[in-house]
């Protein structure tokens, strides 16, 4: 069974890295629009959203995501300050991030591929109801996942 996800704020050059990491395991819609109250509708019918630090993952957006059935948020970054973790927890939405990547100002192709790999790994583990280990930054207990 494939996890359905939508990736927001995707630049043309990032598509290749996600496609290579995904290997057609999951049904991922790639869009260039950033996540906002106006674009949250693109999440309809999906279980996960993939976001960047420029996306709006505030409480009002998370509320709409939850109403659309989103269960998982993956930050394609180490930082998660842009995500309202309390709002996500209140709707039982799980969150993962990229545990680390190069601190260089410009990300290399290797950094971009590792970010894509970690994103897909998060989808893989969630699909298996498994914890994400060091990448897990859930506001609640991440030891056990369920898909209620």
Per DSSP, the residues of 80-143 read -TTB-HHHHHHTT-EEE-------SSS--HHHHHHHHHHHHHHHHHHHTT---GGGB--SS--S
Residue 2 has a pLDDT of 86
- Phi, psi (5° rounding) for residue 95? -130, 140
Residue 50 has a pLDDT of 94
The count of residues in the chain is 148
Residue 136 has a pLDDT of 56
Residue 101 in contact with residue 111, Cβ under 8 Å? yes
The per-residue pLDDT for range 6-42, each reduced to its tens digit, is 999 999 988 999 999 999 999 999 999 999 999 999 9
- Type and span of the H or E element at 18: helix 12-22
- Residues of the chain where predicted confidence (pLDDT) is lower than 50: 102, 139-148
Residue 107 in contact with residue 98, Cβ under 8 Å? no
Which pTM value belongs to this model?
0.82
Residue 76 has a pLDDT of 85
């Amino acid at each position: 069974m494939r996890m359905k996800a939508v990736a927001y704020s995707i630049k043309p050059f990032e598509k290749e890295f996600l496609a290579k990491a995904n290997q057609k395991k999951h049904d991922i819609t790639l869009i260039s629009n950033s996540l906002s109250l106006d674009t949250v509708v693109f999440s309809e019918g999906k279980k996960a959203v993939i976001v960047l630090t420029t996306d709006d993952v505030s409480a009002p957006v998370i509320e709409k995501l939850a109403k659309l059935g989103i269960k998982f948020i993956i930050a394609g970054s180490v930082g998660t300050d842009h995500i309202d973790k309390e709002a996500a927890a209140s709707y039982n939405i799980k969150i993962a991030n990229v545990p680390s990547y190069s601190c260089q100002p410009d990300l290399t192709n290797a950094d971009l591929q590792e970010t894509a790999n970690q994103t897909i790994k998060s989808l893989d583990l969630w699909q298996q109801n498994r914890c994400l280990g060091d990448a897990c930054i859930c506001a609640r207990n991440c030891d056990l996942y369920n898909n209620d």
